[in-house]
Amino acid sequence: MEFWTEIGLPAFALPGLLNYWVAIILMMIGFYTVMAHENLIKKVIGLNIFQAAVFVLYISMAKVDGGTAPILGDDIEVYSNPLPHVLILTAIVVGIATTALGLALIVRIRDAYGTIEEEEIRAAEQEAGT
């Protein structure tokens, strides 16, 4: 911990907050990919990373110090909060549905335009428009 303060960074408790930092970094990587890439498949990948970051955020919140998995057992007394796990199961299903629909749309876009690059689609539209 002292190492971070010595080099001038805020003294965040690494083990405790690491998950949150990872979540934020993943979120930004995903968000950037969605916005910056011209390729539609890469946009969908970015969207997936973005959503996965939210899953990490939820799962990290559920962790109870020293807790085990929330399952039935004789010697289990402290266990993680199962509710966020269940919520994320639902969110994963939603994410898969979104990905599937996005990819299906990309297939149809490729059939219609012959490309999945936004720039080329725009060019094809302008050509058709004039």
Partner 1 sequence: MIFSHIPVLQVIVPLVAAPLCVIFPFRKFCWTVALAATLTSLWIALTLLITVYAHGPITYELGGWAAPWGIGYRIDILSAYMTVLVSLISSVILVFSPRSIGAEISNARAHLFYTLYLLNLTGLLGIAVTGDAFNLFVFLEISSLSSYALIAMGQDRRALTAAFQYLIMGTIGATFYIIAVGLMYAMTGTLNIADLAQRLPEVMETRTILVALAFLIVGIGLKIALFPFHGWLPNAYTYAPSVVSAFLAATATKVAVYILLRILFSVFGPDAVAAMPIAQPLMILALFAMTIGSAVAIFQDDAKRLLAYSSIAQIGYIILGISFLSVTGLTGGILHLFNHALMKSALFLSLGAVFYRIGSVQISDMAGLGRRMPWTMAAFVVGGMSLVGTPLTVGFISKWYLIRAALESGWWPIAVLVLASSLLAMIYIWRVVEIAYFRGHPEAGADIKEAPLSMLVPIWFLTGANIYFGINTGDTITAARAAATMLLGGPQ
* Chain contacts with partner 1 (rule: CB under 8 A): 31, 34, 40, 43, 47, 50-51, 54, 57-58, 61, 84, 87, 90-91, 94, 97-98, 101-102, 105-106, 108-109, 112-113, 121, 125
Q: 60 and 93 in contact (C-beta within 8 Å)?
A: no
Separation CA 121–CA 36 (nearest Å):
16
- Least distance (Å) from partner 1 to the CB of residue 101? 6
Minimum CB distance to partner 1 smaller for 29 or for 106 = 106
CA distance 12 to 45: 30
Q: How far is the CB of 13 from partner 1 (least distance, A)?
A: 17
Burial of 3 (0-12, 13-18, 19+ CB in 10 A): exposed
Q: Which is nearer to partner 1, 7 or 13 (CB)?
A: 13
- Min dist CB 97 to partner 1, Å, is 6
CB 47 within 8 A of CB 40: no
